[in-house]
Structure 1
Amino acid sequence: MTWVVLGAGTAVLYAAQGAWTKRLVGRVGRGPATWAIFAFALPALFAYLLVRGVPPVDAGFWPVLSVNVVLDLIGFTLYVSALEAGELGLTYPLLALTPVFVVPIEWLVLSEHPGAEGVAGILLVAAGVYLLVSPGSETGILAPFRALAREPGARRMLAVAALWAVSGTFDRVAVLRSSPAFYGVALSTCLAIGFLPFALRRGRGGAPARLGDSVRREPAGLALQGLLFAGMFVCQMEALRLALAAYVLALKRSGTLLTVLAGALFFGEKGTLRRLAATLFLLAGVVLVSRG
């Protein structure tokens, strides 16, 4: 199935982009790291648009784009902040909850719903996340929720999951009313402009603009930030043309397995075995979703 291949590519790039964002934000700050996601993605996305061609654009595309620009300005601000504040292996798995939020949204917006196996798969994804965030030092069914309450990064990522459930559904609407390539260029251009004031924000005491210093210090790192996003975006948008958003996003979140490993290998995070074991629920859920 073509959409499964595209979804798997999305998962790998999704994990790599998350791990790289966490590393980069420690070097250049939240503003430049967030802006680079979209600004440095534009050359690759423009090339993709040239290959695919400029499509006819439905009049309904522009309101959907406007809504998603607002949602993504908020969502990506919280996303980068969550990665900076929390552990990669704890915060990133929470994004797997997005498919759970997507189901009722898709039913309302697109009049589409997954089958019984798809629903079971989404529930398994949610169960996997529950185990991933369970603290090893506490017991009780509410222990994961108490752990989340103590983690500002985790709380922010929960908000991101809810926001991306909405924007992910409208992503598909925008793609169907234009094309993946056109939508990628339009959305990234708007977000690059929207995040530019934050990237240019001066430091304390009238320090030089953070963005200029960041580009001089980390040109390759900022470019990689954008290239990872561009690759992930193209794979995801193409998959959304072929399958329900809940299915595509569930497969994308299976990249959590790689982020847990990255957290242990590159950031010295603990609890790796427990988190890896819990991802089996995520993977089982992805299998059911792909069949559902």
Structure 2
Amino acid sequence: MLGFLLAFGTAVSEALKDITSKHNLHHVDEYTAAFAMHLVQSLLLIPVVYFTGMEVLSTRFLWTLLASSLLQLTVILLYFKAIKRSEISVTLPLITLTPLFMLITSPIMVGEFPNALGLTGIVLIVIGTYISNISEDPKKIFEPFVSLGKNQGARYMFGVAFIWSITANLDKIGVEETSPVFWAFTKDFTILLYLIPILIWKSKKPLLQIRNRKGPLFMVGFFRTTSVLAHMFALQLILVPYVITIKRSSAVFIILYAFFFLNEKKNFRNRMIGISINLIGLFIIAIS
């Protein structure tokens, strides 16, 4: 049950991070936002790593760190390209494919596969999240998949979903080799270093952008930190596909926030149906 609660905490933190990020991206570019988020997380985790102590760095850990950080950097760039080039309603549902991909990658990489009850919960959450993010027009129910052949942004997001199914398992390996806190710090600090030349190349006056939005950017980094820590500790307790499936249900909280605070009433019926299916899926995973 603790693993489920931690995974659920990850979903809540992810939703808060995405909501605050949405507001920030009206004022800063995506490269500055990504850099600031990883900078805040690294600064928050430095004292924690100092007091908990350094870990022995095995060869397996170093290879996992290299692979995970490079793949995560690729995800960041692909994700922003997908959002920029296509409508969110077309690209966002494709993220729900990550838990399904993990039914293939997790057995291969970490030897984990959910039981029948857990598998049912995963499928229900995937379906619920997908339904929540599509049009109420029955003719457009498969539009995200149809768009793969003609929409570059949709192909980028499809790639994001697949890469996430790999990096989640790498996180499991990294946590097993060291500890949740140390792995979270080293991975995101490495990504921060990668982002420095990209920031210099792509962003205009990033330091001024950060200074003008230091408070809101700090909150994004704070929620990112709580999300990552809950995620890493959850990986120690329950199967990777469970953690990622529950994490992706963060879309439920974003939908509710948009409805109550942003007055976004579009596709309300589908969203409520999707949320209901999600809750059933979460309950099934909790008792599996």
TM-score scaled to structure 2, two decimals?
A: 0.89
- Seen in structure 2, the aligned counterparts of structure 1 residues 227 and 89 have a Cα distance that, compared at 3 Å, is farther
Moved more, 122-131 or 244-253: 122-131
* TM-fit CA distance, 1:159: 2.3
- Seen in structure 2, the aligned counterparts of structure 1 residues 109 and 124 have a Cα distance that, compared at 3 Å, is same
Cα deviations by residue, 1:49-76 (Å, 9 ceiling, x for unpaired): 2343323333210000100111100112
Give the match for residue 272 of structure 1: 268
Give the match for residue 231 of structure 2: 236
* 1:284 aligned residue (263, 267, 280): 280
Aligned mates of 2:250, 2:179 — CA distance in 1: 25
5+ unaligned residues in a row in structure 2: which ranges?
A: none
Written as runs of structure 1 = structure 2, the 5 A alignment for 1:137-216 is: 137-139=137-139, 142-143=142-143, 145-146=145-146, 154-201=154-201, 209-216=204-211
Aligned mates of 1:200, 1:18 — CA distance in 2: 24
Moved more, 93-102 or 188-197: 93-102
Decide whether the 8 Å contact of 2:125 with 2:245 is kept in 1: yes
* TM-fit CA distance, 1:271: 1.6
* TM-fit CA distance, 1:268: 4.2
Give the match for residue 101 of structure 1: 101
Question: What one-letter code is carried by the residue in structure 1 that aligns with 2:281?
Answer: G
- Seen in structure 2, the aligned counterparts of structure 1 residues 263 and 200 have a Cα distance that, compared at 3 Å, is farther
Instruction: Name the % identity.
Output: 25
Decide whether the 8 Å contact of 1:124 with 1:281 is kept in 2: yes
* TM-fit CA distance, 1:150: 7.5
* TM-fit CA distance, 1:213: 2.0
Aligned mates of 2:150, 2:37 — CA distance in 1: 29
Aligned mates of 2:250, 2:217 — CA distance in 1: 22
Aligned mates of 1:271, 1:85 — CA distance in 2: 22
Give the match for residue 259 of structure 1: 254
Aligned mates of 1:152, 1:136 — CA distance in 2: 24
Give the match for residue 245 of structure 1: 240
Give the match for residue 9 of structure 2: 9
- Seen in structure 2, the aligned counterparts of structure 1 residues 96 and 53 have a Cα distance that, compared at 3 Å, is farther
Decide whether the 8 Å contact of 1:129 with 1:278 is kept in 2: yes
Aligned mates of 2:142, 2:81 — CA distance in 1: 25
- Seen in structure 2, the aligned counterparts of structure 1 residues 226 and 252 have a Cα distance that, compared at 3 Å, is same
- Seen in structure 2, the aligned counterparts of structure 1 residues 78 and 262 have a Cα distance that, compared at 3 Å, is farther
* TM-fit CA distance, 1:156: 3.4
* TM-fit CA distance, 1:184: 1.3
Decide whether the 8 Å contact of 2:129 with 2:251 is kept in 1: no
Decide whether the 8 Å contact of 2:93 with 2:134 is kept in 1: no
Question: What one-letter code is carried by the residue in structure 1 that aligns with 2:170?
Answer: F
Give the match for residue 121 of structure 2: 121
Moved more, 255-264 or 63-72: 255-264
* TM-fit CA distance, 1:147: 6.5
Aligned mates of 1:147, 1:126 — CA distance in 2: 19
Aligned mates of 1:259, 1:102 — CA distance in 2: 24
